[in-house]
Chains A and B, each alone.
Chain A
Amino acid sequence: MIPLKEIIEKLKVEPLSSISSLERQVAGGYASDLLSCVIKGAKKDSLWVTLQSHLNVVAVASLLGLAGVIITENNRPDQETLNRAENEGVILMTTPKSTYTVVGQLTALGVKGNEED
């Protein structure tokens, strides 16, 4: 488990949710832009990297109990999505970097994929 706070600081991603909920621990990582693949593949307490930024990202993250979502390539959720994330306790983050770069940096920090356990 790696604290989400540490990941935010090291990767310099911008958190879009309340700071008080950043005590979360990250168990692993998953990257995809296809929601059904995420539903199938992402484990609870994982960090999800995607360039999708719409409302259903929050629905999927909440459904799976994910530790957080890093939205890549400067995509920004609208206010409605941010509000719903706040309500459901889903932590959204954004970064200008590409999904490939973020995943590489997460791997370097020791955040592993499902198959690596």
Chain B
Amino acid sequence: MSQVPKFTKIQELIYELPIARVMKKNVIEVSPDTSMTELKEILRVNRISGVPVIEEGRLVGVISIEDLIKALVEGDIQAPVSKRMTTKPITVLESESVVEAVKRFAQHKVGRLLVTNDQGDLRGILTGGDITRGLLEAISLDYHAEEISRYRAKHIFEDIVSDKTSLLLRYTVRGKDFKSGGRASSKLKKALDRLGALPEVIRRVAISAYEAEMNLIIHATDGGELIAELQPDMIRITVIDQGPGIPDVEEAMSPGFSTAPNWIRELGFGAGMGLANIKKCADSMKLESQPGVGTKLEIVIHLKPESNGEATPPEKKEQEPL
């Protein structure tokens, strides 16, 4: 039984985001001989709760507001920082992912981590609040990027002006390649979703495209091509192969008629319902075939239910509630 763990967006980000993206840079530092009184002013003025202690460019400790309170209680406020600081501060590398920082917070129960590079130079400082802020920012950036690309896709027909704009999506379908069955129609379905088509329309397009794609896989000598032409108010799917061709188109259209060999029927195909299903989903369909030459199937579906497309009048629809 396969159980691939699923991650939430936050969990993914915790593993993906480097600490450098969320840490505070431009860290305020103090030297070991700064007095605790001076430290109090530094913390107050900058509204921070702790600073690293640096001696000749080297990180020697960290001192926080907690240390300051203890010094006040003990009347040791004149002491130098070096006397009250925590030596051996907990550090993380700027290149590590945020999850490492989370682990270290849990392990050491400290309020802040000092961030260094590979050489041990101080690069930044990190608190729990920085992580939260960083994650929220990353999520909203992600969300924006997705929103923007969706918006752009939806408005493609308004943004690009011509007398007649259409978008052409071509999918090559290989013959007898059952393992790839549904790939082309699934891609087309995703494209329409991105372009903001109505769910009911997407479903009809996806079903028609799937049946046509399977026909290419099952019947066409050498596969074929599925071309979807998108216009602002309709989609025209043209499916072309180079043979073997259909001897009697009318017979092929009748529900239940199938020429599929037994091994294909055993896979659950060849019910003789493919073309009938397409006809049911399409606003209009046209099937032309010449034995020995090839077959061309054209399916038109209106993207807006109320529009009665100008190119081809729709055939009567069977129980389409939309």
Contacts and interface: CB of A to CB of B under 8 A. Distances in A.
Interface of A: 14-21, 33-37, 39-40, 44, 50, 52, 54-60, 62-65, 79-80, 82, 86, 88
A34 B182 contact: no
Contacts, number: 86
A86 B186 contact: no
B268 A35 contact: yes
Contacts of B4: 18, 86
Give chain B's interface residue range (CB within 8 Å of chain A): 20 to 34
Given A56-B181, A59-B210, A36 B5 contact: no
Contacts of A39: 207, 210-211, 273, 277
Nearest to B265: A34
A20 B6 contact: yes
Interface of B: 1-6, 178-179, 181-183, 185-186, 189, 203, 206-207, 210-211, 214, 267-269, 271-274, 276-277, 280
A36 B271 contact: yes
A56 B268 contact: yes
Given A34-B268, A40-B280, A60 B182 contact: yes
Nearest to B258: A36
Nearest to A38: B268
A21 B214 CA distance: 29
Contacts of A55: 178-179, 181-182
A37 B178 CA distance: 18
B3 A37 contact: no
B209 to A, nearest CB: 9
A17 B1 CA distance: 8
A17 B5 CA distance: 10
A64 to B, nearest CB: 8
Contact of B5 (A18, A34, A57): A18
A63 B267 contact: no
7 smallest beta-carbon distances between A and B, as pairs? A59-B182, A36-B273, A34-B271, A36-B271, A20-B6, A35-B268, A56-B181
A63 B268 CA distance: 16
Contacts of B274: 36
A16 B4 CA distance: 10
B271 A37 contact: yes
A60 B24 CA distance: 50
Nearest to B213: A59
Contact of A36 (B1, B178, B269): B269
Nearest to A81: B179
A32 to B, nearest CB: 8
